[in-house]
Structure formats: C-alpha cells, structure tokens
Amino acid sequence: MIIMPIKTPLEIEMEIESIGKKKSELSILNMLILAVLAGVYIGFGSALATLVSHDL
C-alpha cells in the first residue's frame, strides 16, 4: 500500500507557481521541442481513436 502525503491548498498553489515560473524561463528551442512533442502526442491519440472507431 502506498501512502502519499496530503498537500494543503497553499502547498499546491506554491508548487503550481514554481512549475509555471520554471516553464516561463524555458528557452525558445526547448519550448518548440515541447510543443512539437505535444502535437505528436495528440496526433497519435487521434490516429488511435480513428483506428479504434473505424474497426468497430
């Protein structure tokens, strides 16, 4: 059994803020790479959804 600590709303807000700050400081090249990878991920998902729905 895995026991995970429960975070308070303030801790969650601080963590989200730090993640956003880190993302805003990425270089243009890293942002473009992540954007392309996100698009590929969405494309694979839509292709799989089309394949599954077509074979029904």
Per-residue pLDDT of the chain (56 residues; tens, 9 = 90+): 888 889 999 999 999 999 999 999 999 999 999 999 999 999 999 999 999 998 76
Q: How far is CA 23 from CA 1, 8, 17, 50, in A?
A: 33, 23, 10, 32
Q: What pLDDT shows up at residue 1?
A: 80
Q: What pLDDT shows up at residue 19?
A: 96
Q: What pLDDT shows up at residue 4?
A: 84
Q: What pLDDT shows up at residue 38?
A: 97
Residue 54 one-letter amino acid: H
Q: What pLDDT shows up at residue 56?
A: 67
